[in-house]
Amino acid sequence: MPGALKEVRNRIKSVQSTQQITKAMKMVSAAKLRRAQEAIIQMRPYAQKLQEMLSSIVSNSDGDTGGKLAIERTPEKVLFIVIASDRGLCGAYNANITKLARSIAEEKYARQLSKGNVIVWPIGKKAYDYFQRVKMNSNAAFKDIFLNLNFESVQQVATAAVDAFTKKEFDVVELVYSEFKNAATQRFVAERFLPIPKVENKSGKSTKADFIFEPEKEALVAELMPKILNTQLYKAVLDANASEHGARMTAMDKASENANELLKELRISYNRARQAAITTELTEIVSGAAALQG
């Protein structure tokens, strides 16, 4: 019985120590989330308006006026840019992103995947580790962006993707990431990065907007397209960054609640075991006293 009491006491101490860690991690993630949330909230309206403008220009363009980045080609070689995180302990956040990317590759690009023509550029160590584990072609060049997250580092990824698409190294570039809604909700999305998609109305036809271009349309489009794509990718990375901290904060909050429930059960078990030990000792004392009297 003393051994059982000691074992329960050790378990209680272990759970309490774990709970202290989960509470501390929740507080850290909450602080990081506030900064990440402010960044994406400020960035999102600007990025969305730029994307609408870019898609409208492409939809309104004839021939090569839309630029090389809007040309539709038969997808023989496909690039996935998958944005996850560097660290775990954030629930199913990383697993949901990587599984979404893999399912799209297997369903939408099964033929290209079987030929080895699907390449992944993971952003975040967890994404890189996953695609290495499942033996999908992946490039480690951009996996450490979250170590120093800024516009310049993300721009390198966008520029490399644009250059590869222009040189026809890839025919389609898909972007997979988590869109931040709130601390408890993330929406896992896959959207086409290149070629630049056209805006379609409810009837499924491309919409046209009457823009006045200054300077000439071709020069302006060629200058704007790469810059807007840089902004779009940066917005996606900021979305993923905020989503990661939100997911981790929620996961650590749930872990702390579970620790509380486990502590309640362990304390009940400890009290029962202690009461049983006391009862046994009293019984032995009474029996001993009765034997001496007899």
Would you call 32 helix, strand, or coil by DSSP? helix
Greatest Cα-to-Cα distance within the chain, rounded to the nearest angstrom? 116
Whether 82 and 157 have beta carbons less than 8 Å apart is answered as no
Question: What are the φ and ψ backbone dihedral angles of 178, each rounded to 5 degrees?
Answer: -110, 120
Give CA–CA dist 203/192, Å, rounded: 20
Give me the torsion for CA of 219, 223, 226, 232, rounded to 10°. -110
Contacts 24+ apart (CB under 8 A), 211-220: 211/56, 211/57, 211/60, 217/61, 217/65, 218/65, 218/67
Which candidate in 15, 57, 83, 90 is catalytic? 90
Contact 119, 137 (CB under 8 A): yes
Residue 160 among the catalytic residues: no
Closest CA to 234 of 33, 45, 37, 47: 47
Residues identified as active-site: 90
